[in-house]
């Protein structure tokens, strides 16, 4: 249907949308995050849901303590090597479709604590991350921006075809192996199917 | 469970030869082993204030054993600090107790100033006092919100608390450039002077704050449900509090008059009269009320301090930021942070890095007697007892 006809119809009170658009519109406006704070960034995550910043405007104020009821995991803070298996396990427990925002320098790369012996250098080594937010800690506005970015990403997801969303493609995994405590480090130290280090082009 | 004497963790610690099964049987009385339920609360749990884990053994709903498990946020703070320059660990101190970055800065700056023998100019002392007391108000406001959230008052009190927090954070942001991680104190003073109009803004916030406290008090402090839920819960005796090294509002709620602002007289606290609120019962309600009263006392300090602040430099001209090498020696600097005594112990060997860097975190030490406070109570009371301890995991695990 061309846009002219669609506009003409909407003036007469008839809204014509594709099922895909309606489905994505509904999903993107009711994303329930997992109430899961790791460190400093969790306070800014709470601040984002409180009075001044009011994440409820985007339909995401329902923080669920149980991963079984959550759509979005905001990894807010430093992921230590002791905590990383639990984070991956929580991600595996979430039902599809599920999304991950890595909030703050620590969650995306280890941040100021990267040189530490007990700090994971980015949660994207084990689970796929949809949006990264830099900052230490990022302001609530940055989290809201990340959230709007995620909404655009959800809006663009296809229901059919070879590039359809992951939760509709049975060939793509929805769970990822939980790392174990090895002798010196987590085993494996990264999941090569998930982690793609940045390629430096000179 | 009235009248039942529970053995505590400290009694059990001496019987190293016994198995866990035997200890458990002793605590609850032999023969009831089959009825016990072990629950791991955390590290992902809405009530544990971060990534803290309580391994609780329950008899019905009664806690018979509680083992705190730390380390899920161990970020190698001390090791990193030993490998970086003295100034380089200042931003890391922000991230210890991430509600009160300015008091953490002050404690660390105090330790280094003792080590290097630096003097702090008058104006910087005033700025330190003002920011530290604002931090105290901020921390206690948020704690009251979180404590009520734990009790089941979902949303409203925390919403009010964060509304007030934003006002103080605006002040911090215009002063230091960051909302939470201020990184503001320097050895021998502060990083920069107050921006234009900051004092007027701060006076406005301080003048309006009692209105919020009155509102909070009217809404909550005399609330029947809150009183029924908190009075007589999580009792801590003064004797145990002293023996376990508890500091801060936790200690004062048990009736011990010990406040480092009075004892050490660091900074310029001796110039301002303020009272130290003390509790009678050492229960959760006392700990809540102590914090509400401390906020009013802090405002009493802030009001004249914001008027008296003199002009002048904010940093000691002798202090140098680059090539800072204190003489060999050791120093311990401590201040009364909102959570208790925060101390930094530094050993210098004359190199640019500290030889040993040790943090005495109030949250961790206040948490050690959690089992003694929770034994014999229901698991729901254990949750609010933990909430009243006021822990921040960044400081507990470091």
Query: Average pLDDT of chain A?
Result: 89
Which residues 28-67 of A have a C-beta within 8 angstroms of B?
Answer: 35-40, 42-44, 46-47, 50-52, 65, 67
Q: Does A136 touch chain B if contact means CB atoms closer than 8 Å?
A: yes
CA dihedral sign of residues B387, B393, B394, B395: positive
**Contact call for B95 and A39, based on CB within 8 A:** yes
Q: What is the DSSP secondary-structure string of B220-257?
A: IIT-HHHHHHHTTSS---HHHHHHTT--THHHHHTT--
**Contact call for B73 and A78, based on CB within 8 A:** yes
**Contact call for B50 and A46, based on CB within 8 A:** no
**Contact call for A116 and B80, based on CB within 8 A:** yes
Q: Out of B73, B79, B165, whose CB is closest to A38?
A: B73
Q: Out of A44, A112, A119, whose CB is closest to B180?
A: A44
Rounded to an integer, the average pLDDT of A171-197 is: 86
- What is the per-residue pLDDT for A169? 85
**Contact call for B76 and A86, based on CB within 8 A:** no
Burial B307-330 (b: 16+ CB within 10 A, else e): eebeeeebbbeebeeeeeebeeee
CA distances from A145 to A1, A152, B234, B261, B283 (A): 32, 11, 42, 42, 43
Q: Lowest-confidence range among B12-21, B60-69, B113-122?
A: B12-21
Residue A88: closest C-alpha in chain B: B44
A142 has pLDDT over 90: yes
> Quick one: which of B134, B136, B126, B98 has its CA closest to B189?
B126
Q: Which of A39, A75, A106 to mutate to test the interface with B (most CBs of B within 10 A)?
A: A39
- What is the per-residue pLDDT for B107? 93
**B361-389 confidence digits (pLDDT tens):** 999 999 888 888 888 888 888 888 988 98
Q: Can you say whether residue B358 is alpha, beta or left, with left for phi > 0 and alpha for psi between -120 and 50 degrees?
A: beta
- What is the per-residue pLDDT for B62? 85
Pairing of strands A72-76, A99-103: parallel
- What is the per-residue pLDDT for B18? 59
B chain contacts of residue A44, beta-carbon cutoff 8 Å: 179-180
**B167-217 confidence digits (pLDDT tens):** 999 999 999 988 889 899 988 889 888 998 999 999 999 999 999 999 888
Q: CA of B177 to nearest chain A CA: how many angstroms apart?
A: 12
A chain contacts of residue B180, beta-carbon cutoff 8 Å: 40, 43-44, 137
Classify B175 as helix, strand or coil.
helix
CA distances from A68 to A34, A64, B41, B73 (A): 9, 9, 17, 24
Q: Out of A82, A83, A112, whose CB is closest to B91?
A: A112
> Quick one: which of A73, A69, A142 has its CA closest to A104?
A142
Residue B83: closest C-alpha in chain A: A115
- What is the per-residue pLDDT for B296? 92
Residue, of B93 and A189, whose pLDDT is higher? B93
How long, in residues, is chain A? 202
Q: CA of A9 to nearest chain B CA: how many angstroms apart?
A: 43
- What is the per-residue pLDDT for B208? 92
Q: Does A124 touch chain B if contact means CB atoms closer than 8 Å?
A: no
**Contact call for A39 and B83, based on CB within 8 A:** no
Q: CA of B94 to nearest chain A CA: how many angstroms apart?
A: 10
Q: CA of A101 to nearest chain B CA: how many angstroms apart?
A: 17
Q: What is the DSSP secondary-structure string of A9-32?
A: HHHTT-----HHHHHHHHHHT---
A81 preceded by a cis bond (ω within 30 of 0): no
- What is the per-residue pLDDT for B19? 55
Q: Which two tokens mark B305?
A: 């301090």
* Residue B54 per-residue DSSP state: E
B chain contacts of residue A118, beta-carbon cutoff 8 Å: 74-76
**Contact call for A113 and B50, based on CB within 8 A:** no
B4 has pLDDT over 50: no
Across the A/B interface, how many CB contacts are shorter than 8 Å? 88
A chain contacts of residue B80, beta-carbon cutoff 8 Å: 113, 115-116
Residues A84 and A120: beta-carbon distance below 8 Å:
yes
Query: Average pLDDT of chain B?
Result: 85
B8 has pLDDT over 90: no
- What is the per-residue pLDDT for B3? 42
**Contact call for A119 and B45, based on CB within 8 A:** no
Q: Out of A38, A47, A119, whose CB is closest to B51?
A: A38
**B266-286 confidence digits (pLDDT tens):** 888 889 989 999 988 888 999
Rounded to whole angstroms, the Cα distance separating B93 from B87 reads 10
**Contact call for A51 and B43, based on CB within 8 A:** no
Residues B134 and B302: beta-carbon distance below 8 Å:
yes
Rounded to an integer, the average pLDDT of A57-69 is: 87
pLDDT band at residue A138 using 50, 70 and 90 as cut-offs: very high
Q: What is the value of ipTM here, to two decimals?
A: 0.85
Rounded to an integer, the average pLDDT of B78-85 is: 90
Of chain B, the percentage scoring pLDDT greater than 70 comes to 91
- What is the per-residue pLDDT for B9? 44
**A66-118 confidence digits (pLDDT tens):** 889 999 999 988 999 989 999 999 999 999 889 999 999 999 988 889 888 88
To the question of pTM greater than 0.95 for the whole model, the response is no
How long, in residues, is chain B? 398
**Contact call for B75 and A83, based on CB within 8 A:** no
Q: Out of A67, A117, A136, whose CB is closest to B181?
A: A136
Residues A100 and A137: beta-carbon distance below 8 Å:
no
**B11-43 confidence digits (pLDDT tens):** 444 455 555 555 555 555 544 555 788 888 878
Residue A117: closest C-alpha in chain B: B76
Residues B12 and B23: beta-carbon distance below 8 Å:
yes
A22 has pLDDT over 50: yes
Q: CA of B169 to nearest chain A CA: how many angstroms apart?
A: 11
Q: Does A80 touch chain B if contact means CB atoms closer than 8 Å?
A: yes
Q: Out of A112, A117, A118, whose CB is closest to B92?
A: A112
pLDDT band at residue B5 using 50, 70 and 90 as cut-offs: very low
B chain contacts of residue A50, beta-carbon cutoff 8 Å: 158-159, 162-163
**B126-178 confidence digits (pLDDT tens):** 999 999 999 999 999 998 888 888 888 777 888 889 999 999 999 999 999 88
Q: Out of B72, B91, B181, whose CB is closest to A83?
A: B72
Rounded to whole angstroms, the Cα distance separating A101 from A112 reads 19
Rounded to whole angstroms, the Cα distance separating A20 from A176 reads 27
Of chain B, the percentage scoring pLDDT greater than 90 comes to 34
**B299-322 confidence digits (pLDDT tens):** 999 999 999 899 888 888 777 777
pLDDT band at residue B355 using 50, 70 and 90 as cut-offs: very high
A chain contacts of residue B162, beta-carbon cutoff 8 Å: 46-47, 50-52
Residues B134 and B171: beta-carbon distance below 8 Å:
yes
CA angle A80, B391, B362 (to 5 degrees): 100
**Contact call for B75 and A118, based on CB within 8 A:** yes
Residues B67 and B54: beta-carbon distance below 8 Å:
yes
Of chain A, the percentage scoring pLDDT greater than 70 comes to 100
**Contact call for A38 and B50, based on CB within 8 A:** yes
- What is the per-residue pLDDT for B21? 54
- What is the per-residue pLDDT for B65? 86
């Amino acid at each position: 249907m061309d846009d002219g006809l669609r506009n003409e119809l909407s003036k007469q009170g008839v809204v014509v949308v594709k099922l895909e658009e309606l489905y994505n519109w509904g999903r993107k406006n009711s994303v329930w995050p997992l109430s899961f704070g790791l460190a400093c960034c969790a306070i800014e995550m709470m601040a984002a849901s409180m009075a001044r910043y009011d994440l409820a405007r985007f339909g995401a104020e329902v923080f669920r303590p149980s991963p079984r009821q959550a759509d979005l995991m905001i990894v807010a803070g430093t992921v230590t090597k002791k905590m990383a298996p639990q984070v991956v396990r929580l991600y595996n427990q979430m039902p599809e479709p599920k999304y991950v925002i890595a909030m703050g320098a620590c969650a995306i790369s280890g941040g100021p604590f990267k040189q530490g012996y007990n700090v994971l250098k980015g949660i994207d080594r084990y689970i796929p991350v949809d949006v990264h937010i830099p900052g230490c800690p990022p302001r609530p506005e940055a989290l809201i921006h990340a959230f709007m970015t995620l909404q655009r990403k959800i809006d663009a997801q296809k229901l059919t075809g070879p590039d359809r969303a992951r939760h509709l493609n049975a060939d793509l995994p929805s769970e990822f192996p939980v790392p174990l405590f090895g002798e010196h480090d987590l085993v494996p130290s990264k999941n090569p199917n998930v982690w793609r280090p940045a390629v430096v082009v000179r | 469970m009235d009248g039942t004497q529970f053995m505590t963790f400290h009694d059990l610690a001496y019987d190293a030869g016994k198995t866990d099964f035997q200890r458990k049987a002793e605590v609850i009385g032999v023969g009831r082993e089959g009825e016990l339920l072990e629950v791991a609360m955390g590290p992902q749990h809405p009530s544990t204030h971060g990534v803290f884990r309580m391994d609780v053994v329950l008899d019905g709903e009664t806690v018979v054993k509680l083992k705190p498990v730390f380390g899920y946020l161990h970020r190698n703070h001390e090791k990193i600090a030993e490998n970086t320059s003295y100034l380089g660990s200042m931003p890391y101190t922000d991230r210890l107790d991430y509600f009160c970055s300015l008091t953490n800065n002050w404690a660390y700056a105090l330790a280094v100033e003792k080590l290097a023998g630096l003097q702090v100019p008058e104006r910087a002392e005033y700025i330190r006092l003002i920011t530290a007391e604002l931090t105290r108000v901020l921390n206690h406001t948020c704690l009251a919100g979180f404590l009520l959230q734990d009790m089941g008052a979902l949303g409203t009190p925390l919403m009010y608390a964060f509304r007030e927090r934003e006002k103080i954070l605006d002040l911090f942001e215009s002063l230091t450039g960051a909302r939470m991680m201020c990184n503001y104190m320097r050895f021998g003073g502060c990083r920069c002077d107050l921006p234009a109009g900051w004092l007027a803004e701060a006076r406005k916030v301080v003048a309006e704050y009692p209105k919020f406290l009155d509102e909070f008090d009217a809404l909550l402090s005399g609330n029947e449900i809150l009183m029924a839920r908190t009075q007589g819960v999580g009792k801590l005796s003064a004797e145990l509090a002293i023996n376990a090294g508890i500091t801060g509002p936790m200690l004062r709620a048990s009736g011990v008059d010990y406040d480092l602002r009075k004892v050490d007289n660091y900074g310029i606290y001796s110039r301002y009269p303020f009272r130290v609120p003390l509790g009678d019962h050492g229960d959760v309600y006392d700990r809540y009320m102590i914090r509400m009263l401390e906020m009013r006392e802090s405002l009493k300090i802030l009001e004249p301090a914001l008027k008296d602040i003199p002009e002048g430099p904010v940093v000691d001209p002798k202090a140098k930021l680059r090539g800072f090498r204190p003489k060999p020696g050791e120093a311990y600097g401590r201040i009364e942070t909102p959570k208790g005594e925060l101390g930094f112990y530094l050993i210098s060997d004359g190199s640019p890095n500290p030889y040993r860097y040790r943090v005495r975190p109030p949250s961790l030490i206040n948490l050690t007697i959690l089992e003694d406070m929770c034994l014999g109570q229901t698991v729901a009371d254990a949750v609010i007892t933990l909430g009243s301890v006021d822990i921040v995991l960044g400081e507990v695990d470091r």
